[in-house]
Structures are given as C-alpha cells and as structure tokens.
Amino acid sequence: MPYSKSLDITQFEERPYDVGFVMVSKSVGEAILDQVVDSEGMLEFRVDVDNQNNGNIHVPCGIIEGETEELIIIGAHHDTVYNGQGAVDNTAGAATVMEMARQFGLLQSELGDPEMTIYFCTWGGEEEGLWGSSEWVDKHRGLLEENLRLYINLDMNHVDAERNAGLTLQGNSATDVKHIERLVEEFASAYPDLFEMYSISVREIDSEQMPYNSDHAPFVFEIHQNNEEEFGLAMMCYGSGSSEYHTYLDSMDRFNEESLMVSGVIYGSLVRHLAWG
C-alpha cells in the first residue's frame, strides 16, 4: 500500500512512495505495541511476493448526451484496499455518483437534454495507483483537452456522525469556487438543519498545490487544454472523522448516509447550473 495513503506526509519535500508500509489487524498491532514498541521483543518479516498475474480494472460510465461535446465528469473510485470493507472509502463516493446519475436522469426527462454532456464514472484501481482514471484520461486525452469543462471527484465525502468536523469543498477553478460559495448559502437556506449540523469549508487552491492522492489528479495534471502550463479544472470533497478507512473497521457500522447529501446537493446544483443554465 502506498505510504502516503494513510499517513501525513506534509513534512516531506518528496512523496515517499518507495517506503514500505505494512498494515496488520488490531490484535497483531496491540501485540507489537506491547511486546516490541514497549518492550524488548523483535520482529522478523518474511516476504514472498508473486506479481505474475494480470488483473482487469473496470471503469463503468453512464452518459447523459448534451447538445454540445463540452464535458462535465462526476467520478468516484469503487475499489478498496485488500483488507478493508470500503464503506467510507469509497462506497460513500460511488453511491453519491449513482444517486446523482439517477436524479439527473429524472431532470433530463423534465428539462430535456442539457447543453453540456455529463459523464458519471466509477474508477477501479485507485488504491493501487489511480490506474483506472489514469488509463481513462490517457485513452480520451484528445476529447478531454478540447472539451473538459469540469471534473468533480467524490472520495470519502462522508462525515462520521460522532466525530463530525464538517466537509471541505475545494478546487482549482476560481469561477467554480465562487459558484460553490453561493450554493452553500442557498443550501443553508434550503436545509438549515443539515447546514447547522455539518460545517462546510470552501477553498480555492492553486493547481500545483492540489494533492495527487485521488482520481482528480489525472484530470488536473495530465490535461493541458491550451498549453503545457495550464491544468484541468476539478472540484473535490473531503469529509471528516472516518479514521477507520484503509482498515478492516471500515464497515457500514459507522456509516452516516445523511452526510452524503451535503456534497451531493451542492455539487449536483453546480452541475445543474452549468449544464442547463
């Protein structure tokens, strides 16, 4: 598992991808703390790795055809780490994408075709290195460089009900961040109870400072729409309090489906505004 997926690496100038990282069960971890960290015991690792087999990575996409080829893409990864059930990381994001697709299908029947084409995609292979989204971007590079308006990434857009520190909505598009700020005000008016319960932070960040830790990264760093110095535009959502992610404890026991409504409604409203006006 990449070292940077579970630990704070802001202290490093370069991402330490080549540093080994071993995850163990809770009982084994407690034994290591008791017998090794807090005592004089020692560990011996015997590693046997077989990478001879190839695996298939799937990228299912649903499409609402618009009147133009200008694109909005909403995505989330559907895979999880080998030892985790993946409730928060990332059933939360995949479920939100599916619900947004369902609701936009209903909206299309009511309003007609949007001006922009909307993709709803879930990516495989994110945990192993963004393989699904990277390959998809590479395959559709010409289309994306000519037509991508915005990519929206939903990865752990979930708030633990008891460890609630709200959500962060952020992106590298000044225009879209301004839209989001106004939509948050509308959200507060339409859903005052949810707004009071889940604090919302909106941030604009420079493209170069965007983290390379989820499926937005290929759409930002591998897309140069006008020249090599310009980046693709993306918006992301990060939730809070779900410290069990990447472990066997990431189960539905602590899942808070209500919290998904915040990012779903706000980003869905942004897409509705962009695509239908």
For residue range 116-148, what is the model confidence (pLDDT) as tens digits? 999 999 999 999 889 999 999 999 999 999 999
Are residue 18 and residue 87 in the same domain, yes or no?
no
Are residue 196 and residue 156 in the same domain, yes or no?
yes
Give the whole-number percent of the chain exceeding pLDDT 90: 76
**pLDDT bucket at 4, cuts 50 / 70 / 90:** very low
Instruction: Write the CA distances from 94 to 60, 79, 86, 135, 210, integer angstroms.
Output: 11, 9, 11, 19, 22
**pLDDT bucket at 48, cuts 50 / 70 / 90:** confident
**pLDDT bucket at 3, cuts 50 / 70 / 90:** very low
Strands (DSSP E) found in the chain: 61-64, 71-77, 117-123, 148-154, 167-171, 200-204, 234-238
Q: Which has the minimum average pLDDT: 26-35, 64-73, 254-263?
A: 26-35
pLDDT digits (tens, 9 = 90+) for 150-209: 999 999 999 999 999 999 999 999 999 999 999 999 999 999 999 999 999 999 999 999
Whether pLDDT at 67 is above 50: yes
Contacts of 244 (CB under 8 A, 6+ apart): 88, 250, 251, 254
Residue 7's pLDDT is what? 56
Are residue 134 and residue 205 in the same domain, yes or no?
yes
Are residue 146 and residue 271 in the same domain, yes or no?
yes
Instruction: Write the CA distances from 144 to 58, 59, 61, 73, 97, integer angstroms.
Output: 19, 16, 15, 10, 20
Are residue 37 and residue 166 in the same domain, yes or no?
no
d(CA 72, CA 144) in angstroms, rounded, equals: 10
Are residue 139 and residue 35 in the same domain, yes or no?
no
pLDDT digits (tens, 9 = 90+) for 208-239: 999 999 999 999 999 876 666 689 999 999 99
Q: What does pLDDT average to over the chain?
A: 90
Are residue 17 and residue 68 in the same domain, yes or no?
no
Handedness of CA 184, 186, 187, 193 (dihedral sign): positive
Asked whether the beta carbons of 249 and 103 are under 8 A apart, the reply is: no
Residue 155, domain CATH: 3.40.630.10
**pLDDT bucket at 248, cuts 50 / 70 / 90:** confident
- Concatenated DSSP letters for 209-269? GS-SSSTHHHHHHS--SSSTT----EEEEE-B--TTTTSTT-SGGG--GGGHHHHHHHHHH
pLDDT digits (tens, 9 = 90+) for 140-161: 999 999 999 999 999 999 999 9
Are residue 99 and residue 13 in the same domain, yes or no?
no
Q: Which one-letter amino acid corresponds to residue 52?
A: Q
Print the domain residue range for 2: 1-53
Structure tokens at 55: 């695996």
Q: How many domains does the chain have?
A: 2
d(CA 176, CA 150) in angstroms, rounded, equals: 9
Are residue 34 and residue 135 in the same domain, yes or no?
no
Structure tokens at 186: 């509308």
Handedness of CA 160, 164, 165, 167 (dihedral sign): positive
Question: Coil, strand, or helix at residue 208?
Answer: helix
Residue 1's pLDDT is what? 44
Residue 21's pLDDT is what? 66
Residue 230's pLDDT is what? 82
Whether pLDDT at 90 is above 90: yes
Are residue 13 and residue 133 in the same domain, yes or no?
no
Asked whether the beta carbons of 134 and 222 are under 8 A apart, the reply is: yes
Sheet of strand 167-171, all strands in order from the earlier edge strand to the far edge:
61-64, 117-123, 71-77, 148-154, 234-238, 167-171, 200-204
Can you tell me which residue has the tokens 């369902």? Answer: 102
Radius of gyration of the chain from Cα atoms?
Answer: 20
Short-list 115, 173, 157, 169, CA closest to 255: 157
